[in-house]
Amino acid sequence: MLHHFIYKVIEDGHDPFRILYVSIDTPVYSDIGLEKFVSIFMKINKISENDLCFVIFDEIQYLKDWEIHLKDLTDSYPNIRFVASGSAAAALRLRSRESGAGRFSDFMLPPLTFLEFMKFIGKIDECCYLRDDYYVPKNMTELNKCFLDYINFGGFPEVAMDPDMRLNLDSYIKSDIIDKVLLKDLPNLYGIQNIQDLNNIFKLLAYNNGQEIGLEAVCKQSGINKVTIKSFIEYLDSAFLISQHNKMPSSTKEIIRKRNFKVFLTNPSMRAALFSPVEESDSQTIGHLCEAAILSQWDHVGRYKTQYYYRDASGEVDIVGLNSGTNKPSYAVEIKWSDNPFSNFRKNFRGMLNLINKYDIKSAVATSKTLRKSLKIDNKKTPINCFQIYQR
């Protein structure tokens, strides 16, 4: 993306010799300050302080105290537009806010949404038509086939667009992306000594993607103490490899305890790279990956921060959004990769119905594989999208 940015700058008429790109993780650049790069760049190209320039620092997290260096540069060179990127997103964002207030603008780049994936592979017009600013399916069979491809290959543009890369997920996603974060970024940022334990915990969480877990169970299964596991989960979350999904609290104490929770891969295609692509027949695994895929759509708007899952004796609801003012549920989503549960809705969606009645929820959604219809709950009209239930 940075290379595309550079191409666009040149295409817009800017002098290529007024553009500097530096990958900070290059070994020969070790311990070289950002100011040194800029001064050499300006000297070689005979650039004055009044010339408009573009300076891109990639993988900037590998330079100690980068945020202080960058802050000084933005003050000293007002005519240079600085772009800094890195894969350790949480650490970058925290430090930029601490030292770059008023100077830095942060941009988070989540994995592709399903809509973006469909546009990348050129299938959107074949599968859907646009109506009132919404895409409506017209070829459900092909759309579901594309969604399965999205789960297996859809998070990264290169894999989405290159069929050959799909045959080599282990090399591209696992080696170039996952292993880079697990073996290099996180150990360097947080001083992790036992990298193998970190790797094992990530694989355990990835395999159990979307299932409710507890620290005690992970501790027993992995043989790693709870304090270390909790730290590893926080590190993996900060690197945006996983996201934690907590159980909807019934009290403030439950928020603090967080005894049980779900962990989702921020990009479902990482599971295919770690193990193998899922087949349509593997409905249980696909069901959990569907949850991860739908949650990842909300990463683009930050909605996941106010979302939980609900569970009581009657059943479970996959996503519950809490009103920030009242802290009560305002909507609910149940995610299915099948039409079968809808044959006996009241039996298979008891958790959803109980939640709706208990909190008088006005908006509820249930996804299906091919169904699209309206329901009435207790004689109350209910509009639908894909398979939606509304109490009123």
Q: Which H, E and C letters describe 38-84, residue by residue?
A: HHHHHHHCCCCCCCCEEEEEECHHHCCCHHHHHHHHHHHCCCEEEEE
**Residue 125: inside a domain, yes or no?**
yes
Q: What is the pLDDT of residues 271-282, one digit of tens each?
A: 988 998 999 888
Note whether 295 and 311 are same-domain residues: no
Residue given tokens 């010339």 in the structure block? 51
Note whether 120 and 134 are same-domain residues: yes
User: How many CB atoms neighbour CB 374 within 10 A?
Assistant: 13
Residue 302 has pLDDT above 90, yes or no: no
**Residue 49: inside a domain, yes or no?**
yes
Note whether 67 and 215 are same-domain residues: no
Note whether 143 and 201 are same-domain residues: yes
- Please list, in sequence order, all residues whose beta carbon lies within 8 angstroms of the beta carbon of residue 115, skipping any fewer than 6 positions away: 124, 135
CATH no. for residue 53? 3.40.50
Domain boundary among 46, 70, 99: 99
Note whether 94 and 118 are same-domain residues: no
**Residue 105: inside a domain, yes or no?**
no
Note whether 125 and 94 are same-domain residues: no
Exposed, middle or buried, 284 (CB in 10 Å: 0-12/13-18/19+)?
exposed
Residue 160 has pLDDT above 50, yes or no: yes
Residue given tokens 């207790």 in the structure block? 378
**Residue 108: inside a domain, yes or no?**
no
Domain boundary among 99, 126, 147: 99
Amino acid 205: pLDDT: 93
Residue 387 has pLDDT above 50, yes or no: no
Domain boundary among 249, 269, 301: 301
Domain range spanning residue 132? 114-301
> In the structure, what pLDDT confidence band is assigned to residue 386 with cuts at 50, 70 and 90?
very low
Its pTM stands at: 0.82
H or E element at residue 135 = strand 134-137
Integer angstrom CA distances of residue 142 from 148, 152, 157, 367, 385: 10, 15, 20, 17, 19
**Residue 59: inside a domain, yes or no?**
yes
Note whether 17 and 55 are same-domain residues: yes
Residue type, 329: P
> In the structure, what pLDDT confidence band is assigned to residue 94 with cuts at 50, 70 and 90?
low
- Half-sphere exposure in the Cβ direction for 173 (13 Å, CA): 29
| Number of separate helices (H) and strands (E) present in the chain | 20, 15
- The answer to whether the CB of 113 falls within 8 A of the CB of 155 is no
Percent of the chain with pLDDT over 90: 34
Note whether 161 and 205 are same-domain residues: yes
Note whether 291 and 361 are same-domain residues: no
- For residues 315 and 23, give the distance between their C-alpha atoms in angstroms, rounded to a whole number: 50
Amino acid 382: pLDDT: 42
Note whether 230 and 343 are same-domain residues: no
Angle among Cα 261, 267, 268 to the nearest 5 degrees reads: 80
**Residue 70: inside a domain, yes or no?**
yes
**Residue 107: inside a domain, yes or no?**
no
Question: Per the structure, how many domains does the chain have?
Answer: 3
Overall residue count recorded for the chain in this entry:
392
Note whether 327 and 292 are same-domain residues: no
Q: What is the DSSP string of 160-217?
A: HH-HHHHTTHIIIIIIIIIHHIIIIIHHHHH--S-HHHHHHHHHHHHHTTTSEEEHHH
Note whether 166 and 235 are same-domain residues: yes
